[in-house]
Structure 1
C-alpha cells in the first residue's frame, strides 16, 4: 500500500496551490459582443432592488480582523480576502464579469461578526461557509465550524472579542459536507466531548456520508475541482472572482469529531441550554445527510444549505452523485408548514439572513418552487420524447422565479440542473441508438476533422463564427480539432479565446471558473504542481474498514492481475474486525470473516493500518513492527501491491488524456 493517497473532500484541497503558483496568463479583454451581452443583464434583472445589500450588512458588530487574512501556526496563509478586495472597489461590474455575478460577489464579500437577533450571531466570509453561534443560558451553541481549524478558531475569537466568553456546550453539523464540520477541533477539545461537556448533534447518516461521498472517485473530483473553484486562476476581474456560494475555500487543517447525538426523525425536539429546538430531516437534498431546525424562542428557521441566496446544485460540476430536486422541494414545503406561521428569521449556512415573516416565507417558497419546477419540467419534456440537451435549452424559470435574486444561478444553474435531473431519472442514454456506442473522443475528433475538410478549413470557418460571437459553437467545433491534434496551436488558442469570452459572460461562478481555467490550460498547458495529501487523520479514522479495502480494489490494474488468484485473511487486532480479501478475475473483493484456505494471514492494528493510508509509514515498515504478524506466503501480498495503480492527479481535461499503456 506504499504510495496510497486517499482523496477526501478534495474539492477543497487544491486551494493550497491557489495564489502561490499562478500560471503566466495574458487574458484577452471582453469582446464587443461580450460587452453587449453583459450589458443586457442590467436591463433584464432588478438591479434597482438593493434589499440584499441592506440585509448583507445589517447587524455588523465587527469586520474580520487582519483585513481578512488568517494564518496557521507556522505563519502560512490559509484564508486571504485581501486578494478579492478588488470586488468591493467598484460598484459597476467590469466588462469581463457578468453584472449579476459581480453583484453576488459584492454581497458575499460582506464579512465579519454579525448580530442576527438577540442570542443569534454569525461570522461570515471567514471561509466558504458561515459559522453561526446561538447563545444559551450558560454557554454557546456553535453551528457548522467551517472547513479548517484555523478559520474556525479565528471566527470564534472574533465572537469572543465582542461577546461574553461562555463555553461551547454544543456543536451542530447541519449536513455532511466538509465546510460544515472540518474546523471543529479549532473550537472544542475532544476530551470535553468524551466527558459529556459538549454535545455534537448531526443528522442520521452523517458520518457515513461525510467520509464516503468523495472517497472512491476522489482523484477525478479533485482534478475537476481545480476548474470549478478556479484555484489556478489569479483573483482579478479577468480571472477568479469567487464561487457564487462563497469566495473560495480555506486551506488549513481539516478535522472531524464524531457526533454524540443523532437527529433521526422529523419533529424530534431537543432542549439545549435553555433553548427549544425542533428538527426536520432532509436527506438526499443538498447533501446525503442534512437537517433543518427551528428555535422557538428566536422564531428563527434554518434550512441548512437548502435555501440560500443562489440556485444550488442538484449536480455539482466537480462530480458527485446527483441530488433529488423533488425531495429538496418537499422538504422546503414541509419547513413552511411546520414553522412558517410564527417564523421571523431565516438564516443559512451560506450568505446572509432574511428578516420578517413575509420575506422568510417568500424565500422558502421561491426555493421550493424552483427545485420543483426543475424536477417537473424536466420530466414533462422527457415524457414528450425530448433529450437532455433539448430539454436543457427549453427549460427556463418563469418570470417571477427568474427575477428572484436568491434563485439566480450563481452556483448551480437551471441548465446543468435540468440535465442532472434527466440522468437522475433516466440515466445517461437519451434513447437514440446512434448515441448508444459512440466513438471515443480522439477517434471521433479525427473523423470529424477529416469529414469537415481538414483542420485549417474548420479553423477558417470557426474564426468567422468567433467574430460573430458564436462562442459556444467555436468551443465545440474547435474542440474536435484540438482532440484530433493537440499540437495544433492555432486551434488551441482559438478555443481558449472562445472559452474565455464564455467565462466573462457566465452568471455562475463555477461556470466562469471552468471556462477560464480551460482557456488557461489550452494556452499554457497543464502545470504538474505539487498536490497536497488531503487524507486528514480524523477522516481516515472514521472510515469503515471495508471502504478502505474497497478503495484499494479501485486501484487494481486488471491487466496486471489477469489470471492471478490470491486470498488474504486480514485481522485488525485493536478492533477485533476480520476481513477476507479475494482476488479473482481481476476483481478484488472483501468480506467479513475468515477464509479456511488463505494464501496468507495478517494480524495488524487498525491504527497502524491508518498510518499506512496516511503515508506516515510504508507497509513494508509496518510489517516489520512487533504489532504485526504475518503467516503464510508474504510474497503474495507484495504481488498484490504490485498490481495497484497510482492515480495521476494532473490528467488532461481540455486536451486528450494519455492512452493507457497495457503491461
Structure 2
C-alpha cells in the first residue's frame, strides 16, 4: 500500500463530491512524493509492466507503455504497416528500436488513426526512403493538424501541456504520476516530424498493402478525423474510438471542437457490429476475445448514451447546466465499471459540454447577458463582507468546512478585484490544491487545478508554453512542406487592429514554383485571396521555408527583406507597416 492509503471510497450517485471533501480520506502519497486520489493511483498502476511489445494475434504486435498512444505493427509479406508514431521524431526513433526486437522487416506503410500522433513518423524510418512509404489517413487529417498546430497552436500547445502535467515538478506533493511522455535534449529528436499523407482514404475503402487487406471506416473519436482500420483476413480492427482504458473523450479542458456524444456512440456501435475477435484501441490494452471486447464497447456506449439522452431530456425541461450536473448521475453499474473509471475527465464536464455545444452559453439567466466584470463583483463582495480580511476569513471558514470549491470561487473574485493580494492568491491556491489531491480525475482535473495553484504562487507561468508540452511544435522545415498559402491565410488572425488603424492596402505573396496569393488590408481586417491582387501596393517574393520561419516568429520581415530572402517590389515603405500590423517579427524567448 502507498503511504496514507485508505480503503477505496464509495462511488456512485450518493457520494459526496471531491470538491466538498468527499474524497479527503482517500489520498495517498506515491514514491515520488505526489499526493493523489488512491482510486486513481490504483487504476493507473493496475497491470503496468513498463514498455512491452505484445502479440495481440499472429501478425499484429502492440507496443504499450512507452507513450500515451500504442504503436500497432502489422506484419506484411515483406514489410510492416505501422499505426501511430508518437508526437516527436524521437518517439518514432524509439518505436523503431522496439520494433527491431521482433521484426527486421522494413516499414512499407504508415496509418494515422487521427492527427494527434503523427509527429514521430519520420523517426520510424531507418534506411527506407520516405518517398517509397505509403501514408494512409482520413481526408481531414492534414487540415486538422494544421488547425491544431497553427490556427489554435499557441492555445493547444499551452493547454495540452497543462493537461498532461508539463508544468508540474518531478517530485513532491504537486508532482505528476509517472514521468509523462519522453522529451529529448536534441532539438531534432524533440521536433514534430510527420510525413505527408499519400492516400486520403474514403469511408469503406479497401486497400491491400504488402499482402495485408485493410478496410477503412470514418468514425468520430476524440477527433473528427478518426479511423477504424479493419483487417478482415486477420479478424481484427484497430480504432481511435471512444473505447479506452477509462472514460475519456466526451470533453477536454484543453479546448477542442464540440464532441457530440451520438457520434461517439455511432463509432462504438460500428465496432460492435464488426464483431471482431481482436479489438485494438490506440489507447489501452488490446481485447483478444469477442466477449470482453463486446462488454467494454457496450459499457462505453451505454455511458455516453446515458449522459447524452439525459442531457437532452434536461435541456428540454428547461434546466440550467448547474441543475443538470446536480441531477444527472450515471447508474451504479456504469459508475462502478472499471473500464469507465473517470481518470481522464469528469462526467460533469461532459454534461456542461453538451449544453454549451447544443444550446450555447446563454442559460436563461438575464443577468448573464451583460454581466459585471469579476473585478467589480470582487469589489462589491469585499465591501459587502466589510473588507478584504473579512472575505478572506469567510473563505478560510469554507476551507475548514471542506467546501473547497466555495473557497476557490470567493478568492477568484478577490484576486480579480485585488490582483496584488498575496493572501487571496495563496488561499485560492490552497483550495485548488486540496481539490487536486482528492479528485479521482487525476489527469485533467488534477493537472489543471495544480498548475493554476503553482501559477498563483508564482512558481510557474501557465500563460507560456512549457518546453515539456505534450505536443511538439512543428519546426520551420516541417511547416514548409505545407502549401505556403495556408500560412498566409493564417495571417488574418494575426492582424493587430491597434496598429495603423486606418491602413488600407493590398499585398501580393509569390512563392516561386509553388503559386501565389494575396492579402487585402482594411481597418481591423485582413482578407485572404487565392489570387494576388493585380494592383497590389506591395509584392513580396519568397520561398516556403522563409514563410514558415516568419510564421513561427523565428525571423522578421524587415530582416528577411534586408538579407534578400524576401524580395519586395512596389511601395517598400509598407514593409515596416505590414511587419508591425501582422506581427511578422522575431519572438523573444
TM-score band (shorter)?
0.7 to 0.9
- Contact (CA 8 Å) 1:305, 1:350: kept in 2 or not? no
Look up the match of 1:143.
83
Shift in alpha-carbon separation, 1:236–1:396, aligned structure 2, 3 A? farther
| Conserved 8 A contact 1:145-1:183 | yes
For residue 199 of structure 2, the aligned residue among 255, 261, 264 is: 261
Aligned to 1:156: 96
Question: Does 2:490 correspond to 1:567?
Answer: no
CA–CA distance in structure 2, aligned partners of residues 313 and 116 of structure 1: 24
Offset of residue 184 of structure 1? 0.7
Whole-Å separation in 2 of the counterparts to 1:449 and 1:109: 50
How has the CA–CA distance of structure 1 residues 155 and 629 changed in structure 2, closer, same or farther, with 3 Å as cutoff?
closer
- Is the alpha carbon distance of 1:248 and 1:193 closer, same or farther for their aligned partners in structure 2, counting shifts above 3 Å? closer
**Shift, 1:456, TM fit:** 1.3
Q: How does 1:75-114 map to 2 (within 5 A)?
A: 96-107=35-46, 109-112=48-51, 113-114=53-54
Question: Could you give the per-residue CA deviations for residues 462-485 of structure 1, whole angstroms, max 9, x where no partner exists?
Answer: 212211111111111121112211
Counterpart-to-counterpart distance in 2, 1:468 and 1:617: 54
Aligned to 2:573: 635
Aligned residue for 1:176? 115
Which of 284, 287, 297 does residue 351 from structure 1 map onto? Answer: 284
Any gaps of 5 or more consecutive residues in structure 2?
13-28, 185-189
The worse-fitting range, judged by mean Cα deviation, of 467-476 and 434-443 is 434-443
State the alpha-carbon separation in 1 of the partners of residues 392 and 326 from structure 2.
Answer: 26
The Cα of 1:150 is off from its aligned counterpart by 1.4
Q: Do 2:476 and 2:545's aligned partners in 1 also have CA atoms closer than 8 Å?
A: no
1:505 corresponds to 2:445:
no
**Of 301, 308, 316, which residue of structure 1 is paired with 2:244?**
308
Corresponding residue for residue 456 of structure 2: 522
Please show how residues 152-301 of structure 1 align to structure 2 within 5 Å. Answer: 152-161=92-101, 163-177=102-116, 180-188=117-125, 192-194=129-131, 196=132, 198-236=133-171, 238-242=173-177, 247-248=180-181, 250=183, 252-265=190-203, 267-283=204-220, 285-301=221-237
**Superposed CA offset, 1:566-622 (max 9, x none):** 211222222122x22111121111111232432122222333322333455442343
Q: 1:645 to 1:448 in 2, by over 3 A?
A: farther
Partner of 2:294: 361
| Secondary structure class of the residue paired with 2:230 | strand
Q: What is the CA-CA distance between 1:436 and the residue it aligns to?
A: 0.9
Structure with more contact order per residue of length (Cα contacts < 8 Å, sep ≥ 6): 1
Q: Which residue of 1 aligns with 2:56?
A: 116
Match of 2:25 in 1: none
Q: Secondary structure at the match of 1:558?
A: coil
Q: CA RMSD in A?
A: 2.9
State whether residues 265 and 305 of structure 2, in contact with CA within 8 Å, keep that contact through their aligned partners in structure 1: yes
Go from structure 1 to structure 2 and tell me whether the alpha carbon gap of 1:191 and 1:612 turns closer, same or farther (over 3 Å shift). Answer: farther
Judged with a 3 Å threshold, the aligned counterparts in structure 2 of structure 1 residues 133 and 270 are, in CA distance, closer, same or farther, namely same
Taking a change above 3 Å as real, the CA distance of residues 517 and 356 of structure 1, as seen in their structure-2 partners, is same
In the TM superposition, what whole-angstrom CA distance separates every residue of 1:307-360 from its partner, at most 9, and x where no partner exists? 1112113332122222222111111112211x11xx222211122122211111
CA change 1:153–1:516 in 2 (3 A) is: same
Moved more, 320-329 or 641-650: 641-650
- TM-superposed deviation, 1:446: 1.9
Do the aligned partners of 1:566 and 1:599 also contact (CA within 8 Å) in 2? yes
Partner of 2:394: 461
Gapped regions of structure 1 (runs ≥ 5):
1-29, 46-85, 651-663
Q: Could you tell me how far 1:248 is from its partner in structure 2?
A: 3.9
Of the structure 1 ranges 535-544 and 163-172, higher mean CA displacement relative to structure 2 is found in: 535-544
Compared CA separation, residues 104 and 615, structure 1 to 2 (3 A): same
Would you say the 8 A contact 2:476–2:552 is kept in 1? Answer: yes
Give matches, 1:389-400, under 5 Å.
389-400=322-333
Offset of residue 102 of structure 1: 0.4
Q: Number of aligned pairs?
A: 558
Quick check: 1:438 aligned with 2:371?
yes
Contact 1:449/1:480 (<8 A) preserved: no
In the alignment, the residues of structure 2 paired with residue 310 and residue 649 of structure 1 have an alpha-carbon distance, to the nearest angstrom, of 40
Candidates 407, 414, 424, aligned match of 1:481: 414
Partner SS for 1:301: strand
- Equivalent residue for 1:61? none
In the alignment, the residues of structure 2 paired with residue 121 and residue 566 of structure 1 have an alpha-carbon distance, to the nearest angstrom, of: 58
1:131-173 deviations in whole A, cap 9, x for unaligned? 1111122211111011122122222212313x23011111110
Partner secondary structure for residue 380 of structure 2: helix
Change beyond 3 A, Cα 1:238–1:274: same
Cα distance in 2 between the residues matched to 1:98 and 1:649: 40
Aligned residue in 2 for 1:16: none
- 1:439 shift after superposition: 1.8
Question: Helix, strand or coil for the counterpart of 2:581?
Answer: coil
Matched, 1:604 2:539: no
Q: Distance in 1 between matches of 2:548 and 2:455?
A: 36
Secondary structure of residue in 1 paired with 2:573: helix
Q: So what's the TM-score if we normalise by structure 2?
A: 0.87
Residues 324 and 520 (structure 1 numbering): CA distance in 2 closer, same or farther, change over 3 Å? same
Distance 1:565 1:556 in 2: 13
1:570, 1:515 → 2: CA distance? 45
Change (3 A) 1:576 1:557: closer
> Secondary structure, in 3 states, of the residue corresponding to 1:271?
strand
How has the CA–CA distance of structure 1 residues 108 and 131 changed in structure 2, closer, same or farther, with 3 Å as cutoff?
A: farther
